[in-house]
Structure 1
Amino acid sequence: MSTSDEILGLAAREKYWKFAQAYLAASERQCKAISENEELFGYPDGAVCLYLAQHAIELFLKGMLISRKPDAVNNVHQISQLEREFKAIFTEPEFKWDVPFSELVDWASVPKDQRIPHDQLLRYPTKKGVTEWSSHWQGFGAQAFLGSLNRIREDFFRLQHAEKIRSNKMP
């Protein structure tokens, strides 16, 4: 049996990074299962895979931000907002990262009743109760996404390693 004691003494950034790795690993397992037998799986299975990866990125970004600015992540869940904060703080070249799942839409310019928060779209089959999501169509290709998951894992390792090196050099 594992318990929360195993992360008890870790720095907050390390806890976020461990959870990010766990969510990413769960996404990889789900994606591999889908790719090995696509006939048995449907869009909901792919959406769960996407959501797990998206949540991994959210947690990883929070771990990075906490590493330098502990109050940077209070009640923030949007990848695009976390990405903006990350890019403002991590300006060194070794921290360049095209963050996956960053929203390309400026939702502030979209009427509130027409907004489709990506994280909600992956978590819920309808907008509210039985109300359908307006103008939404998504697909999922497991084989292609496995490559994306591999790049995410490599980026996590690269960025985490660079931050550990940087923080060890600080006085």
Structure 2
Amino acid sequence: MNLSRRQSLGLLAGAVIPPTVVVGAAPLVAVATKMTPQERYDFHLAELKKAAEEIEPMIGRWHVSGLAEGETGGCALIITAFRVTGRYQGDGLYERGKPNWNGVFTRYNVRLLDHRIDDERLFEVRGPGERMQLIESNLNTFIGRKVGALS
């Protein structure tokens, strides 16, 4: 028997549920009591990501600052989802995926490098007064459309 999330939470909280549901829920209770806090955290974080990606399919990458002391700068937990704003279409001049404070799209020279990090391609990105190297998943959430060739 399939249980909804609400029914399973009610069962764990001791709420009154029809006996047919309780019989089918025995394995659920056994599994729930064996999970460590870290396993529950990982499970629910994965469920949150899955639901968010179903709602917003353009999420390209996640950044999660954990619960370790000092890792989040005083915050208990930080979860950030980044939307894909562009795709690499060869070396060239790209607009940034989002405008700056006055509505202007900054332009960046993007060049593919010969190196890889964790099996992802690496790019050099140069803009006015800045230079950075980004892996492809980060690049796709940073750049917008391609507007020209390298200068």
TM-score, normalising length from structure 2? Answer: 0.23
* TM-score (normalised: structure 1): 0.21
Structure ranking higher on relative contact order (CA contacts 8 Å, 6+ apart): 1
Q: Name whichever structure is richer in strand by fraction.
A: 2
